[in-house]
């Protein structure tokens, strides 16, 4: 009997020791997971953090007080990504559009001429709005000088084909207009008119275009209309209701 009691006590001691070790390991695992979670949160915050020298203005573009801005600043480059009204009720065959579309008359009312006497206008256009976009460029006082094609790619550098009415769409086009004289320090012929880059979120445009603009007009005064928070950049004024 004494031998059995001693054996039971020994087994219980081993169980207690194992349980203590398990508790210690679980505690370490909890600390490690907490630290990893905190690290991920910091990384996520870093991605969401706006650049230090950007100037974001969250506002409805159609009701913004443009006259006050035009009184204080004339821009060397204006970049616009209008939310063009699509041609049909189901242009993307079931793919949800995550932004409000504007009719042509609203886009036409943008006070682009007040904001720029000399410089460049970069304007993204969709397939069924080419004629209207060229009409607006002329109406606003610009001369069409070039266009940029963005060929969308997957993470594996393959062509990223999207939905289209007649053909699958794998590109977007940005028209370039010029008004008046070149901005100071303008540098021609540094960039190609084709961008190959990975397709990102819906309506998110490639960073290469911003780099191209900054190479064309170094240290310029840059304005983006209909901007989004994922494209905020240092030394750019960005106006839109999705910031």
CA–CA separation, 149 and 192 (whole Å): 10
| Confidence band of 50 (pLDDT split at 50, 70, 90) | confident
The pLDDT, as a whole number, for residue 17 is 58
The pLDDT, as a whole number, for residue 2 is 59
CA–CA separation, 68 and 54 (whole Å): 19
| Confidence band of 134 (pLDDT split at 50, 70, 90) | very high
The pLDDT, as a whole number, for residue 230 is 87
CA–CA separation, 117 and 222 (whole Å): 13
pLDDT over 50 at 148, yes or no: yes
pLDDT over 70 at 21, yes or no: no
pLDDT over 70 at 34, yes or no: no
Q: What is the DSSP letter of 115?
A: H
CA–CA separation, 217 and 196 (whole Å): 21
Q: What percent of the chain has pLDDT over 70?
A: 74
Burial group, residue 115, by CB count within 10 angstroms (0-12, 13-18, 19+): buried
For the ranges 5-14, 31-40, 185-194, which has the lowest average pLDDT? Answer: 31-40
| Greatest mean pLDDT range, 38-42, 120-124, 167-171, 205-209 | 120-124
CA–CA separation, 177 and 170 (whole Å): 24
182 Cβ contact list (under 8 Å, min separation 6)? 118, 119
Dihedrals φ, ψ of 198, to 5°? -70, 135
Closest CA to 215 of 88, 152, 122: 122
Q: What percent of the chain has pLDDT over 90?
A: 63
């Amino acid at each position: 009997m004494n031998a059995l009691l001693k054996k039971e006590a020994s087994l219980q001691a081993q169980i207690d020791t194992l349980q203590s070790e398990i508790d210690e390991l679980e505690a370490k695992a909890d600390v490690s997971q907490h630290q990893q979670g905190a690290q991920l949160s910091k990384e996520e915050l870093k991605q969401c953090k706006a650049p230090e020298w950007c100037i974001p203005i969250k506002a409805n573009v159609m009701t913004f007080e443009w006259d006050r801005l035009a009184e204080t600043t004339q821009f060397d480059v204006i970049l616009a990504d209008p939310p063009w009204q699509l041609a049909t009720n189901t242009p993307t065959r079931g793919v949800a559009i995550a932004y409000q579309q504007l009719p042509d008359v609203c886009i036409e009312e943008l006070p682009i001429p007040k904001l720029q006497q000399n410089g460049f206008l970069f304007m993204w256009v969709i397939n069924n709005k080419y004629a209207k976009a060229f009409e607006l460029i002329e109406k606003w006082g610009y001369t069409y000088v070039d266009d940029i094609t963005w060929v969308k790619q997957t993470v594996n550098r393959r062509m990223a084909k999207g939905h289209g009415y007649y053909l699958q769409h794998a590109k977007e086009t940005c028209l370039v207009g010029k008004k008046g004289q070149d901005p100071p320090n303008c540098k021609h012929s540094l960039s190609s008119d084709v961008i190959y880059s990975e397709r990102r979120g819906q309506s998110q445009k490639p960073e290469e275009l911003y780099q191209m603009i900054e190479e064309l007009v170094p240290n310029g005064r840059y304005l983006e209309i209909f901007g989004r928070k994922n494209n905020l950049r240092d030394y750019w004024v960005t106006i839109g209701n999705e910031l």
